Amino acid sequence: MKQLTFNKKILLLIFFSIGFSVLFSFLFIHYLYSKLYKESIETSIIHQGQRTASHYHYGELSDEIIEKIQWYNIVSEYEVIVVDNLDELASYFPYKVNYETLINEDDHRLLEQGQYVLKEGYVEEFNREILGALFPVKSESGLIGFIYIYLPLEAIQDVFRNSIPILITVGTVFFYLFFLFMNRIWISMFNPLKKLQELSNEISKGNYATIKYEKQDEIGQLIKAFNQMSISLKNQEKRKREFTSNVVHELRTPLTYMRGYTEALKRNMFESPDEAVQYLTIMQNEMERLNKLIHDLVDLNYLEEPTYSMDKEPIAIAQLLLDTIDLFQMQLQEKELIIKQCVNESLITFGDEQRIRQVFYNTIDNAIKYSYKGGKVTLFLIEEKDMIVYTIHNNGIYVQQDEIERIGERFYRADKARNRETGGTGLGLSIVKEIVRLHHGQFTFDSNADHGTTVTVRLPIFKDKGEMT
């Protein structure tokens, strides 16, 4: 079976609602007809019959009494028949009710017990239903007669003759307003959805666009989410292209160097053995750079795998930081940098020692590379609100405010000149951010011309019972 579309389901719901409303109106009218009209007639007949029969409990049904009853029959809307016995009733009311005789054996039994009998049904000769009741008239000696009161019932359309035009008018106005209302909803709902469908097809082709929609209803929230998705996909596509371009650039540059110097060595295009050694040294450096680039890419992809897990254990993080600082003594001396540190040596975290060492190594390496000669690097490792806070600050090259959000993206470097001595691979902080995320920590970056650049990493502190905050 072909599945119904959403708009067809809405149409089906509308038609169902209209059909239900019409059916409900019809049933409600029948309810009013049965409960109000018929019950009021029945109550009136019983009241009149019992009242009439009660006047003649004593005595006989004389001609005078019968004449009074017949006079009442003339002035009343009811038909009243008075007979001495039930056999006479057939001559005055020779009709069948629901194609059956008026009085049956059960009715006889009830009348003899002094109870009245209700009779309701269709009479073919009247071409309508009647509602009546037969009442026994008793004296001290027993039954002396019977009173039969009946009334042909009005048809339902006759009863509601004045109400039906009003009902039709009100219903027509209601359904017209309902149609206008649903048409407005239809347009406001399905036009944006149709636009969403069209733009979804365009996005699948790589054409990213957004929809203007001012309302803040559910459709507006959906369109807002769609626009955000479109912008995000557009940015991701842009960054993917940048990533591809960066990878090509990073791979092409060392390969170009190595090819050039290989060709120079092959053709003996050097003036001295020292110059040949210099060419080989450059080639070796480029190979190491290429190897580091590939290693960092593999490492970052490995860290981003959903199934990746680390070997966590309690770590004396202060000692790990001090050991990492020692690895940079030569670079610090070459750039004549002063390093100041404030380290709380009692701090312990729970994590992967090698990965946290990478965090320290990459951030210190960046701080030194982007510091001016003779500058200062400041390190803090303190406890703050049940968190280990590691901060490294330098007053060297700063990053523009509009570029700070992109720090940590693959291959992104604020150094647009791509200086080969300071540029690195552009993956160091990306790796740092992933490692911090895997340790349930926080990474922040701040930079300005007045105060320099600060990288802050927050990691959960290790508790005595092995639990992390």
Q: What is the pLDDT of residues 165-192, one digit of tens each?
A: 776 787 778 777 877 777 777 777 667 7
Tokens read off for 297: 């890419």
Query: Is residue 1 in some structural domain?
Result: no
Do 278 and 367 have their domain in common? no
Query: Is residue 422 in some structural domain?
Result: yes
Do 138 and 32 have their domain in common? yes
Do 296 and 324 have their domain in common? no
Confidence check: pLDDT of 3 > 50: yes
Total count of domains within the chain: 3
Q: CATH no. for residue 329?
A: 3.30.565.10
d(CA 198, CA 297): 38
User: Which of the listed residues 259, 282, 308 is the one where a domain comes to its end?
Assistant: 308
Provide the pLDDT for residue 421: 53
Do 379 and 303 have their domain in common? no
Query: Is residue 183 in some structural domain?
Result: no
Do 121 and 60 have their domain in common? yes
User: Which of the listed residues 308, 339, 360 is the one where a domain comes to its end?
Assistant: 308
Per-residue pLDDT band at 415 (split at 50, 70, 90): low
% of the chain exceeding 70 in pLDDT: 79
Do 57 and 154 have their domain in common? yes
Per-residue pLDDT band at 398 (split at 50, 70, 90): confident
User: Which of the listed residues 159, 178, 205 is the one where a domain comes to its end?
Assistant: 159
Confidence check: pLDDT of 315 > 60: yes
Of 74-83, 154-163, 282-291, minimum mean pLDDT range:
154-163
Alpha carbon of 324 to those of 250, 303, 365, 423: distances in Å? 27, 21, 10, 21
Contact of 213 with 191, CB cutoff 8 Å:
no
Do 218 and 328 have their domain in common? no
Per-residue pLDDT band at 469 (split at 50, 70, 90): very low
For residue 366, give its domain range.
311-460
Q: What sign results for the dihedral spanned by CA atoms 241, 242, 248, 252?
A: positive
Q: What is the mean pLDDT of the chain?
A: 78
Query: Is residue 64 in some structural domain?
Result: yes
Identity of the highest mean pLDDT range in 92-96, 165-169, 205-209, 365-369: 365-369
Q: CATH no. for residue 278?
A: 1.10.287.130
Provide the pLDDT for residue 466: 46
Do 100 and 88 have their domain in common? yes
Do 210 and 88 have their domain in common? no
Query: Is residue 56 in some structural domain?
Result: yes
Query: Is residue 168 in some structural domain?
Result: no
Do 10 and 155 have their domain in common? yes
Residue whose entry in the numeric block shows the structure tokens 């890419």: 297
Provide the pLDDT for residue 465: 47
Do 237 and 144 have their domain in common? no
Find all residues with CB under 8 Å of 259, minimum gap 6, and list them. none
Alpha carbon of 268 to those of 97, 259, 264, 271, 276: distances in Å? 129, 14, 6, 8, 9
Burial class (CB in 10 A: 0-12, 13-18, 19+), 345: exposed
Do 142 and 111 have their domain in common? yes
